[in-house]
Amino acid sequence: MAPKILDGKALSKTIRIELKKEIDTLTFVPTLAVILVGDDPASAVYVSGKERDCHKVGINSILHRLPAGIHEDTVRQLVSSLNDDPQVDGILIQLPLPSHLDEDTLVGSILPQKDVDGFLAVNQGLTLMGNPHALQPCTPMGVMELLTRNQIPIAGREAVVVGRSMTVGKPVAALLTNANATVTLCHSRTRNLQSHVERAEILVVAAGKRGVVDSSWIQPGAVVIDVGIHRLESGELTGDLDHTTLADRASAFTPVPGGVGPMTRTMLLKNTLKAAKSRRNIL
C-alpha cells in the first residue's frame, strides 16, 4: 500500500481557516509584534512570510525593524515597552540576531504570556509538565498536530526522536511522552543510532544533517516526521532523510517541503490567538 503523505501544507490551510473563523468572532484584533534586527535576507523573507500569514487570518502584525549595529539596551527597552503594551499579545524576535546581541538574554526578556515562539524556560517547563496554559514551541506543536489530526495512534507506541535541541527535539520528546508514547531521545553521543531507529514506530528526525539516519533502518510501517530542512545546490529543498527509500518503508511520512515547515508557521498564529485569549481570560 502506498504510504500516507502527512501533508502539512493542506493541514495548515485547514487550521488557518479554523483560526480565521474564530478570530472573526472576537471583539478585539490579536496583535503580534515582530522584531527584526539587521538586514539578513533570509530573516527578512521569513518575517514577511509571517506578516502575510497573520494578515490572512486577521491577526494584526507590527514589524519593528532595527539597524544591525543597534545597542542591546535599546532592543531590551523595545521588548520592555512591548511587554507593557496592552495592545500587543505576542512578541517574536526573529533569530539569528547579529553576533554582538545576546539572543538568550533578549528572548528571555519577553513576558512569558507573550512568548508566542514558546522558547522561554517557563513555557518549556509548562510544556514538559503537560500544562494546558503553555505556549508550546511551534515546531514540536506542529509535529503533534500532524500526528493527531492524521489519526496516528501515539499512546503506548515506541517513539524515537533524533536531535535534542530546545526548539525541536527535547520538546517533541516531552509532548510525545505526555501523549503516552515510550520515547527514546537520541543525539550526537548516542551509541548505535541504528538500533534505536529500527525500534521506532514513530520516528522524528531533527538532526539538521542529511544522512545521519539511513532510511533503510526504518522499520516497515513506521510513521516518520522529517523536521530537517536543507537547500541543495540545485536550489531544491530536502529533509534530513532520503525520501525515496523512506517512501518504500514508512506507512506515513511528512514531505519536505510541505510537511513540518508550514505547520511551524501556522502554530505561531495559533499561539498568538491563544496568548491574546488567555490575556483576556477567554478560555
Q: In what order do the strands lie in the sheet with 90-93?
A: 60-66, 31-37, 90-93
Is 92 among the residues that bind ligand NAP (CB under 6 A)? no
167 binds ligand NAP (CB under 6 A): yes
Q: What does R_g of the chain's alpha carbons equal in angstroms?
A: 19
Based on the shown chain and the rule CB under 6 A, indicate whether residue 215 belongs to the binding site for ligand NAP.
no
Closest CA to 41 of 117, 78, 96: 96
Q: How far apart are CA 6 and CA 252, in angstroms?
A: 6
Shortest distance, position 119 Cβ to ligand NAP, whole Å: 11
Q: Three-state DSSP class for 206?
A: coil
Q: Does 269 bind ligand NAP (CB under 6 A)?
A: no
Contact range with ligand NAP by CB under 6 A, out of 57-65, 84-92, 117-125, 161-169: 161-169
Residue type, 237: L
Stretch in the footprint of ligand NAP (CB under 6 A) among 86-94, 96-104, 176-184, 187-195? 187-195
Stretch that binds ligand NAP, among 38-46, 84-92, 223-231, 272-280 (CB under 6 A): 223-231
The reply to whether 207 sits near ligand NAP by the rule CB under 6 A is: yes
* From candidates 12, 139, 215, 266, binder to ligand NAP by CB under 6 A: 139
Give me the least distance between CB of 211 and ligand NAP, in Å please.
Answer: 9
Determine the interface stretch with ligand NAP among 50-58, 111-119, 164-172, 176-184 (rule: CB under 6 A).
164-172
Counting residues that bind ligand NAP (by CB under 6 A) gives 25
The secondary element (H helix, E strand) that includes residue 43 is helix 41-57
**Least gap, CB of 281 to ligand NAP (angstroms):** 31
Give the three cell numbers for residue 103.
Answer: 539572543
C-alpha distances in Å from residue 202, one per residue of 152, 156, 175, 219: 9, 11, 13, 10
Q: How many CB atoms lie within 10 A of CB 200?
A: 25
DSSP of 133-150 = T----HHHHHHHHHHHHT
- Binding residues for ligand NAP, rule: CB under 6 A, are 139, 162-165, 167-169, 186-190, 193, 206-209, 212, 227-229, 260-261, 264
